[in-house]
A = this chain, B = another copy of it.
Amino acid sequence: MTGPTKGQEFSSEEVKLALRNPGMHLEGLRYPVTPIGMHYLLIHFDIPLIDPADYELRVSGRVRNPLRLSLEDVKARPAVTMPVAMECAGNGRAHLSPRPISAPWHEEAVGCAEWTGTPLGPILEEAGVLDDAVEILFAGHDRGIDDGIEHDYERSLPVEEALREEALLAYAMNGEPLPPQHGFPLRLVVPEWYGMASVKWLKSITATSEPFEGVQQANKYLYQSSEDDPGTPVTRKLPHALMVPPGIPDFLTRERSVRPGPVLVEGRAWSGFGPVERVEFSADGGRTWEDAELGEPLGPHAWRSWSCEWDAEPGEYELRVRATDATGKTQPLEAEVTWNQGGYGVNVVQRVPVSVG
């Protein structure tokens, strides 16, 4: 089983990150709601062990009435359940050259879970955010070192984003208490943004009068053309469609073999900027495209199913799929045009080579 390998090489650090941070199996696109254990994970540090009986969420900073909420307090508030297509901002990074060294995602850093929790807005209203507050800062119980700096994982949102009705403090996933690896006992879910905004193992919420300049905001999650570029913040999910790779795989190479005949190619598509309005499929490596049939999403923040009949004749093919949203945003055909220092937002069209015979 030793022997030559094809293509690019990856570092030991990337492999260890991959082993801790699984992607969704792409055949998981068949499920409207991703089963627990198939949803992608990006855990920056270690999974904290939190006793729910001792758990307390502090809401403070530039507010009139600081709050301390137990898990029971949070669960006693009005509850909503919401399917959300979540995606890591680094999804697609492995397609870049040179490749930024971090979690080596290809396209699998996605999932659509059903989150249950209470809206964040009314909690902020109860705390009474003061007029001089510009951001709401969310800190997790997960602590470690990144870019040489020890810190709790922390991310902020502009006040108006934190007050959007879809921002949720979630304590359940697919009807079960949050699994430890998804933020037990309480996490933030910011449906339209990439996953880094949805802080897990939530410890505190702080209204601040200055923009947050911590590691995960000022050093990471920026679109930077070079190290010297101050960059712009990574926020909403760019449009992205993925297909279930048809046929059967080779164990080692994951190359696909398809039997000749009609094939129903199917998948899901999403965007954080607006509803997906068009999905196109190509069976000839992008020379020609046809419109896929679209299904209805389970909710405004869920992904949308699509499908396309393909008459597979013997030969070699490269299948592709491309989503366009209501704002006109679509996916690039080549990864290079998305290149940035951290490898964020690489929503290049998926390519699935298949052999029909």
A residues with a Cβ closer than 8 A to B are 1-3, 5-23, 25, 27-28, 30-31, 35-39, 41, 43-47, 49, 94, 98-102, 104-106, 108, 143-146, 150, 176, 179-182, 248-254, 257, 341-343
Contact = CB atoms under 8 A, between A and B. Distances in A.
A335 B23 CA distance: 29
A20 B19 contact: no
B11 A10 contact: yes
Contacts of A179: 35-38
Main SS of the interface on chain A? loop
Contact of A38 (B15, B39, B181): B181
B16 A106 contact: yes
B22 A19 contact: yes
A203 to B, nearest CB: 15
B7 A10 contact: no
Given A45-B251, A179-B37, A19 B18 contact: yes
Contacts of A10: 9-12, 14-15
14 contacts: A1-B342, A1-B343, A2-B101, A5-B11, A9-B11, A15-B18, A25-B46, A25-B181, A27-B46, A35-B181, A38-B47, A38-B181, A146-B252, A176-B176
A102 B102 CA distance: 21
A21 B22 CA distance: 7
Given A7-B11, A35-B179, A251-B146, A43 B25 contact: yes
Contact of A13 (B6, B18, B180, B248): B6
Nearest to A3: B101
| A-B CB proximity, top 6 nearest | A5-B11, A22-B22, A37-B37, A18-B18, A9-B9, A146-B251
B108 A20 contact: yes
Contacts of A251: 44-45, 144-146
Given A180-B38, A248-B144, A7 B1 contact: no
A145 B13 contact: no
A5 B104 CA distance: 14
A99 B9 CA distance: 14
Contact of A2 (B2, B20, B98, B150): B98
Contact of A20 (B25, B98, B104): B25
Contact of A145 (B12, B20, B37, B249): B249
Contact of A8 (B12, B39, B47): B12
Given A38-B180, A180-B38, A251-B145, A30 B6 contact: no
Contacts of A8: 12
Nearest to A31: B180
B18 A248 contact: no
Contacts of A1: 100-102, 341-343
Contacts of A19: 18, 22-23, 104-106, 108
Contact of A253 (B13, B28, B35): B13
